[in-house]
Amino acid sequence: MSKIEGVIFDWAGTTVDFGCFAPVNVFVDIFKQAGIDVTIAEARKPMGMLKIDHIRTMLSMPRISKLWEELYGRAFNEMDVENLYEEFEPALLQSLSQYTDPIPEVVNVVNVLREKGLKLGSTTGYTNKMMDVVVPNALKKGYGPDFYITADETNSYGRPYPYMIFRNMEKLKISSVRHVIKVGDTISDIKEGIQAGVWSVGVIVGSSEMGLSQSEFNALSPDDKKIAINQTRQVFLDSGADFTIETMKDLPLLIDKINGILSKDQLVIEHR
């Protein structure tokens, strides 16, 4: 029977670090040190990419690019990207262990999926050095997938390229892209899933796209929560997501729904 065999999760903003706050403040700080004030929204926009690609994308934003030219009398170059990254990495590593708490419901849902026999992979915008901090700290708190990979192992081709997903599929021995769900909290995650040909799912509450801490989200009125959820859902759908889920608690039911679609597809093929 044709059905989902595995789920590939993102890390920060999806399974750990509610709101994906670990990298955001560091991006803001390194640009400030370089003489450029960037907004939280600008720092979040490329979230999910390999971090050096994230910096390059920020420098390419029209407003930031113009400020850079005004300050330095020239357009940014690759050396500027590398210099900023050299500031970024040690600053992130210093604080990263504080941002490894599993997002509510993740540990329980992962246990449910494992009981159903699903394989659990993961991709990330972090590097191996960063994951050397994140993985053991998250594991101490109850979360760990069967496999993780960074773009360090795909020749620095991170999201939205699909290669990290394919390496997960190879390692976990999953038979088809149609039998894989990618769950993430950024546009880069959605595009990664689309370009790999898997089911691409955006998780809303706790996402970088929503950009709220857990206390900020909890403090919203019911109506404001609905507005924030609907706005984030629309961004994911507009980016091509197959489905969205409000929280990880919704994932098992979504898997059942997709399995129903796959069963119908199989029946159509068998009756041709």
Residue 265 designated active-site: no
Q: Which fold has domain 6-20+100-270?
A: Rossmann fold (3.40.50)
Is 185 among the annotated ligand-binding positions?
A: yes
10 as an active site residue: the answer is yes
Tell me the pLDDT tens digit for each residue of 210-247. 999 999 999 999 999 999 999 999 999 999 999 999 99
Cβ atoms 27, 125 nearer than 8 A? no
State the CATH class of domain 22-97.
mainly alpha
Would the annotation count 12 as a binding residue?
Answer: yes
Q: Convert the pLDDT of each residue in 18-48 to its tens digit.
A: 999 999 999 999 999 999 999 999 999 999 9
Which pLDDT band, with edges at 50, 70 and 90, does 267 fall under?
low
pTM of the model: 0.92
- From the candidates 45, 51, 119, 182, which is the catalytic residue? 51
